[in-house]
């Protein structure tokens, strides 16, 4: 199948007063139509910045996308997202790519009815009139599980609970039936029970509309339950990418192994929570060596001299590491 999104060598930097932040260092990944891609990694690893960079949503200045390609292909159109003008990007955002953000309280305009906030997307991209957009919005509100949608159209965000607001956010994201939905930690701010409902709702809409979903999170449990494929990010790079079962059963990058080891287990005695020693790399320095070198138990000389690139090591399984964990020795032909 043709990939709906193919990203290569994506470089984003932030020119801050403290220096240049090397936020993304040649990020590489792809996305297939209809699949769910989980993107995991700790804060500052570049999960959100990657997605924001693709659609021109990083603050500029200080941010700048300085390299790479991101080919979007939904069957009817093919273009490089990074070459689009702001005006062309506006057509993509909301139209072909929808966004769900983390905090549904601050992400909705407090002085505009939720109905209008959903409808304005339709009116912009689908050239609908106000009454037609209203009709479709009410229909959509029902689909995302908001009771009494007709009346709730005219409600303001503060009249909804957190979970309901996130349903509204989802309605905004899918209003124009986009090919891709990017969900940036959409359940982090919610109760666990509400989290499950939001995940379920997203999956239902995904199936219904045939969208690909990029689910950014640091919750490995959520990813295991819903993703088809997982991207592990670290220090502004992709360090491992694999099908979800493959990743959990057979992690190849030392960071992924550490990450999976850090998931608390339900069974067993009360033990101290496991953590990965050390701290993430200083992004103010250009990344000329492996970003995980300082924390890696398998580190050897080469890791400090050059940066490992993503290499295929199995079917649908890539990793960026010079060390072969399975053999317990450095890789030969990399």
Partner 1 sequence: MQRYLLSRLVQSFLLLLGVLIVVFFMIRLTGDPVSLMVPKEAPAEVREAFREANGFNRPLYAQFFEYLLNAFQLDLGHSLKFRQSNLSIIMERLPSTVYLATISLFLAIVIAVPIGIIGGFNPGSAADTVGRAFGLFGQTIPGFVFALYLILIFAVRLGWLPSFGRDFWYSVILPATALSIGGIGQFVRLTRSAVLEIRNEDYIRTARSKGLSKMAIGARHVARNAALALISVVTVQYSYMLGGSIYIESIFAWPGLGNLLQGAIVDRDFPLIQALAIVFSFFVVTLNLLTDVIYAVIDPRIRYGS
Q: Please give the residue ranges that form the binding site for partner 1 (CB under 8 A).
A: 55, 57, 87, 89-95, 98-99, 101, 103, 106-113, 117, 120-121, 124-125, 156, 158-159, 169, 172, 175
Least distance in angstroms from the C-beta of 12 to partner 1: 16
Residue 36 backbone dihedrals phi, psi, to 5 degrees: -110, 120
Single out the residue of 26, 2, 29 nearest to residue 12, CA to CA: 26
Least distance in angstroms from the C-beta of 80 to partner 1: 18
Q: How far is CA 217 from CA 42, 69, 127, 260, in A?
A: 9, 24, 34, 14
Q: Which is nearer to partner 1, 16 or 316 (CB)?
A: 16
| Total residues belonging to the chain | 334
Least distance in angstroms from the C-beta of 212 to partner 1: 16
Least distance in angstroms from the C-beta of 213 to partner 1: 15
Are 190 and 198 contacting, i.e. CB atoms less than 8 angstroms apart?
yes
Q: Which is nearer to partner 1, 164 or 230 (CB)?
A: 164
Q: Which is nearer to partner 1, 110 or 264 (CB)?
A: 110
Q: Tell me how crowded residue 174 is: count the other CB atoms within 10 A of its CB.
A: 23
Q: Which is nearer to partner 1, 215 or 255 (CB)?
A: 215
Least distance in angstroms from the C-beta of 276 to partner 1: 30
Residue 262 backbone dihedrals phi, psi, to 5 degrees: -85, -5
At 227 the three-state DSSP class reads coil
Q: How far is CA 332 from CA 302, 321, 323, 327, 328, in A?
A: 12, 12, 9, 11, 12
Are 32 and 227 contacting, i.e. CB atoms less than 8 angstroms apart?
no
Distance of alpha carbon 325 from alpha carbon 187, whole angstroms = 33
Pairing outcome for strands 36-40 and 229-234? parallel
The tokens describing 255, both together, are 């960071």
Q: Which is nearer to partner 1, 108 or 310 (CB)?
A: 108
Distance of alpha carbon 24 from alpha carbon 9, whole angstroms = 9
Are 203 and 210 contacting, i.e. CB atoms less than 8 angstroms apart?
no
Exposure string for 45-60, b = 16+ CB within 10 A, e = fewer: bbbbbbbbbbbbbbee
Q: Which is nearer to partner 1, 87 or 333 (CB)?
A: 87
Q: Which is nearer to partner 1, 28 or 107 (CB)?
A: 107
Least distance in angstroms from the C-beta of 111 to partner 1: 5
Least distance in angstroms from the C-beta of 18 to partner 1: 18
Least distance in angstroms from the C-beta of 58 to partner 1: 10
Q: Which is nearer to partner 1, 53 or 121 (CB)?
A: 121
């Amino acid at each position: 199948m043709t990939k709906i999104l193919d990203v290569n060598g994506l470089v984003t930097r932030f020119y801050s007063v403290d220096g240049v932040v090397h936020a993304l260092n040649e990020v590489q990944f792809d996305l297939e139509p209809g699949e769910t891609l989980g993107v995991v990694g700790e804060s500052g690893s570049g999960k959100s910045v990657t997605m924001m960079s693709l659609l021109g949503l990083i603050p500029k200045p200080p941010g700048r996308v300085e390299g790479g390609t991101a080919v979007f292909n939904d069957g009817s159109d093919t273009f490089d997202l990074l070459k689009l003008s702001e005006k062309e990007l506006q057509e993509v955002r909301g139209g072909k790519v929808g966004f769900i953000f983390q905090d549904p309280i601050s992400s909705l305009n407090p002085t505009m009815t939720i109905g209008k906030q959903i409808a304005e997307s339709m009116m912009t991209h689908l050239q609908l009139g106000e009454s037609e957009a209203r009709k479709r919005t009410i229909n959509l509100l029902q689909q995302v599980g908001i009771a009494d949608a007709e009346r709730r159209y005219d409600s303001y965000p503060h009249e909804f609970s957190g979970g309901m607001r996130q349903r509204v956010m989802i309605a905004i994201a899918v209003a124009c039936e986009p090919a891709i939905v990017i969900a940036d930690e959409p359940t982090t701010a919610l109760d666990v029970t509400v989290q499950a409902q939001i995940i379920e709702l997203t999956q239902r809409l995904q199936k219904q509309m045939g969208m690909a979903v990029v689910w950014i999170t640091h919750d490995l449990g959520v990813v295991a339950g819903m993703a088809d494929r997982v991207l592990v990010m670290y220090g502004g790079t992709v360090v491992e990418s694999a099908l979800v079962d493959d990743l959990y059963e057979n992690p190849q990058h030392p960071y992924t192994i550490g990450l999976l080891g850090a998931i608390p287990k339900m069974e067993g005695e009360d033990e101290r929570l496991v953590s990965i020693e050390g701290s993430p790399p200083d992004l103010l320095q250009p990344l000329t060596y492996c970003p995980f070198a300082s924390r890696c138990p398998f580190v050897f000389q080469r890791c400090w001299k050059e940066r490992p690139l993503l290499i295929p090591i199995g079917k649908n399984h890539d990793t960026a590491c010079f060390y072969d964990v399975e053999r317990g020795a450095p890789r030969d032909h990399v």
